[in-house]
Amino acid sequence: MTTRKKLNIAMVCDPIGNNKSGVVISTIRFSKLLKERGHHVIFIGARSAEHKDHSHHNEVKAYRFRSLPVPKSGGWNLAFPTIKELKKIFLEEKIDVVHIILPMSGAIVAIKAAKTLGIKIVAHSHSQPENLFMDMPKIIQPALSNIWNKWLTWVYGKSEILIYPSEMARTLLEKLNNKNHPSVVISNGIDLKEFKPMMIGDFYERFNIPPEKIKLLFVGRLFPEKSIDTLIKAAPYIIKKYPDIHVMLVGAGHQRLKLEKLARSLGVDKYITFLGLVSEEDKVLAYNVCDIFVLPSLAELEGMVVLEAMACGKPIIVADAKMSASRYFVDGNGFLFKAKNPEDLARQALKLITDIDLRKKMGEKSLQNVQKYDIHKSAELLEEVYYSALKK
């Protein structure tokens, strides 16, 4: 059997290490597994107040460049390397494949540098207009979406192979891409050794969570497309029927003050805890502490947080939003609700809140369903994409 050469891979992700968004977490997880498989990985990213120079992130060398912050992004910076700088790095690191994670400023330069050197490019679909423009006036959203889609078409068109995180993402975005252009679906996956049912320790005390109540959990950025206000607005309807509940919101974002104000105006602030950003270890504990996981998001190309909750054995409630692939995770392990409809969210939640046996049954179904999303399988598929790109 012929042993294939180990690869040198450059992952281009401007906010790497400066942000805890799903795409950054996914990039870090894949880099770790690729290293374990014997490959050499580097990051191309942006400088920030926290990371002011080249460094290592999770034992991966991170080249960081001059940058500008993105307003209301939760810590995203745009990287501005020069073609000369990236050509030098790619040559010194003997890069075989440039993997464009995000279609940001760093991607433009990386693509031009890679093309000049004849290095193969793989692109990853991690962006949709709803992630960017939901805060904008509705009258200009179509025009902005059109511009963004044209930009995605340019970036994705420069790759040998385009990776989608879900079949829905491929269907949704295929019009941006020449259908003859090779593409593959690879789930972001979940590490079933890390995310699993476990003891919760002193989590209740540290975060001041009432242990005796039924707990609903959201994890994600506090951004408009996540529609967290729908969950907060559902709380009064739930409390009216079943007052012994508590909502936990894990994550940061520019909407936090607005959401806290909404909770106070509805008189449900004592039923809601904003935990902010937490460590990966505490995030796993939060999943284990909760009784029900809720994702009201309007836009998800996959939805890693749903996989994380499922791996911890939790029933799920997900918005039935046409731009969200997460709705396809609901398969005997929870309920869908009408997007942006707090009354329907409350109705679905109460089915689980008032029935411990149903919660247990659907939680077990989540554990069963999540097995096919093992991240080690995803890393293996990603490795195959790299080798396929090199053959072209």
* Domain layout of the chain by residue ranges: 8-189+374-391, 203-373
Using CB atoms within 10 Å of the CB of residue 185, give its burial: 0 to 12 exposed, 13 to 18 middle, 19+ buried.
Answer: middle
Does this chain's domain 8-189+374-391 share its CATH topology with 203-373?
yes
Q: What is the mean pLDDT of residues 88-112?
A: 95
* Residues 6 or more apart whose Cβ sits within 8 Å of residue 171: none
What integer best gives the mean pLDDT of the chain?
91
130 — pLDDT class (breaks 50, 70, 90): low
pTM recorded for the entire structure: 0.91
Residues 6+ apart with CB under 8 A from 136: 144
At CA 344, angle to CA 343 and CA 347, rounded to 5? Answer: 90
Residue 19 pLDDT: 62
Write the pLDDT tens digit of every residue in 150-173. Answer: 888 888 889 999 999 999 888 877
Q: Which residue has the higher pLDDT, 137 or 361?
A: 361
The CATH superfamily assigned to 203-373 is Glycogen Phosphorylase B; (3.40.50.2000)
Chain segment 296-324, per-residue pLDDT in tens: 999 999 999 999 999 999 999 999 999 99
Better pLDDT: 49 or 328: 328
Q: Is the CATH number 3.40.50.2000 carried by domain 8-189+374-391? A: yes
How high is the pLDDT of residue 179? 61
